[in-house]
Every structure is written in structure tokens, then in C-alpha cells.
Amino acid sequence: MKKQLSKYIAGLSVVILSACSMSPPQLQPNVALVTAQTKFEHYQKVPQQLWSQLDSAVVGSHFAYNNHTIEATKKYHSALGTACLQLSVHKTEIQDENKHLVCQNAEEQWFLVPQIMDKETSHFFAN
């Protein structure tokens, strides 16, 4: 019995050690997560009358725009160094919520930034 146990432990050790010696699979990304320079001109510009509210927004602050209530839910700097806000947008008359991301370019203009996997821009701020 003791001999079987030591054979079992030795076999298990060999399996564990051989699994650790294998290299992980190499993955090739097919979508760039960060580009060297964000081309803000390709994104939808946030209406200028909202810029001052976005500039002064803190997490949890609310403001109204076009029959919507907008809440700043997260404030951060992106990997490219731009100031960004995650917004939760609620339609006033119905219980509908959408999340949007806006970022500020070097000229301090705000743009609606699409999600990484969704290159279609949202038309929330469309006139």
C-alpha cells in the first residue's frame, strides 16, 4: 500500500511538473485596443452647451439634456491620457438606461467615444 501511494505521488508530481513546463498559447489580437493617436474628428462631438457641465462633473452628479437625465458614473483618464467620463443616460418618460463614454481631446472639446468592439457611434447627441 505504501509503495502504491509513493508511485501515485511520483506520477502526480510528474504530471504537475510537465504541465508547468508547457508555454501558454500565443494569441494574436485582431482589434487594436489602443492606437497611438485617437482621431477625435471621427467621433460625434458632444453639443457645446454640455461642455461646462462635463468639465465640472463629479461622480454621482446629474444634469438634464433633451428630455434625458444624465449621471456621471465614472471619471478617469484613458490610457492615452485623455479625460473621460462614463455616463448613464436615463430617458425621462420611460425606465430606459444607456451607458455612454465621452472623452475630452487636447483642445478641450468633448466627444462621444464608441465602445472598443462597437465602432458605430451612438447618436444620442444628434440634433
pTM score of the predicted model:
0.61
What is the average pLDDT across 5-30? 71
Domain ranges within the chain, ordered by starting residue? 34-127
The residue that leads in pLDDT, 96 or 127, is: 96
pLDDT at 52: 92
Q: Measure the N-to-C terminal CA separation of the chain; round to a whole number of Å.
A: 81
Would you give the DSSP letter of residue 90? E
What is the average pLDDT across 27-53? 76
Of 36-50, 77-91, 97-111, minimum mean pLDDT range: 36-50
Cβ–Cβ < 8 Å for 111, 102: yes
Taking the C-alpha atoms of residue 73 and residue 66, their distance in angstroms, rounded to an integer, is 19
The CA radius of gyration of the chain, in Å to the nearest whole number, is 25
Count the alpha carbons within 13 Å of 19 in the hemisphere toward its beta carbon: 6
